[in-house]
Amino acid sequence: DELQALWKNDYGWKMKKITRAVEETKGQILTYNNEPITASFFSTSNCYTENSEEYWGGEYPYLRSVGSPWDKQAPNYQTSVSIPLATFEQLLGVQVTDEQVGKIVKRTKGNRIAEVSINGKTFTGRQIRETLQLRSSDFTWKKVGDQIEITTKGYGHGVGMSQFGANGMAQQGNTYDQIAKHYYQGIEIVTAEPFVAKITKK
C-alpha cells in the first residue's frame, strides 16, 4: 500500500521488475572463502567506497575501497548545512578560534576524513559525522559569522555497495554479478542450499 501511494502509476511496472529480479536470483548467496559475507550497503558515495576498518574498525577482505564515479550524478551528491557556532562548540566540546574551524590530519583511502583536529582536540571523521548528524564523513567546513557552514559529499557510511553507484552500473549495461563483484571484492555467487542445510541442522 505504501509503495502504491509512493509510485502511483509506476507501481505496476516497478513491482514487475523487482519480482523478476528476485525470481532470477532466487537461491543465490554472496560468499568469501566459502562463508556468507556481510553485504553492507549505503545510499551514495563520494565517488569511492570505504575500507571497512577505516569506518567500523573491523577489517573485511571483501569490503575494500573501490571507485564509484556514477554517484556524482546523484541528486544530492553534494549538500551544505549551517550549524550555529555555539551549538557546534557545545556538541563537540571545543572552542573554534579560526575561520578554518579545524585542520584535517588524515584522510581514508576512500577520501573521507579519517582524523581532524579542532583547537588541539582530535576527532575521527565518523565521530564528527555522527555527533553533528552529517550525511557523510567526507566534509569541508568554514566559519561564517556565528555559523559553521559544512559541505558533505555522498550519503551514508561508505562501506560496501553504493546503491546509487550500483544503479549507475546497471544503466551502463553491467549485470548483477558484475555489480556485486565490483563492490564486494573477491566474492563468489553460489547456491545457498549448503548454508541453509547447515543452519537448519543446528
Say yes or no to pLDDT of 202 above 80. Answer: no
How many distinct helices (H) and strands (E) make up the chain? 7, 11
In this predicted structure, what is the pLDDT of residue 20? 95
The set of cell numbers assigned to 166 is 550500483
Higher pLDDT, 194 or 137: 137
**pLDDT of 73-115, one tens digit each?**
999 999 999 999 999 999 999 999 888 899 999 999 999 999 9
Q: Quick count: other Cβ atoms within 10 Å of Cβ 164?
A: 23
Return the SS3 of 36: strand
pLDDT in the model for residue 197: 76
Q: Which three cell numbers stand for residue 19?
A: 519480482
Neighbouring-strand partners of residue 124: 115
Grid look-up 536470483 returns 25
What's the mean pLDDT in 31-43?
96
Compute the distance between CA of residue 48 and CA of residue 110 in angstroms, rounded to an integer.
5
DSSP string, 128-184: HHHHHT-S-S-EEEEEETTEEEEEEESBS--BSEEHHHHHHHHHTT--HHHHHHHHS
Question: If pLDDT is split at 50, 70 and 90, which confidence band does 193 have?
Answer: confident
Coil/strand/helix, residue 74: coil
* 48-63 pLDDT tens trace: 999 999 999 899 999 9
Contact 112, 177 (CB under 8 A): no
Q: Is residue 43 very low, low, confident or very high in pLDDT (cuts 50, 70, 90)?
A: very high
15 pLDDT more than 80? yes
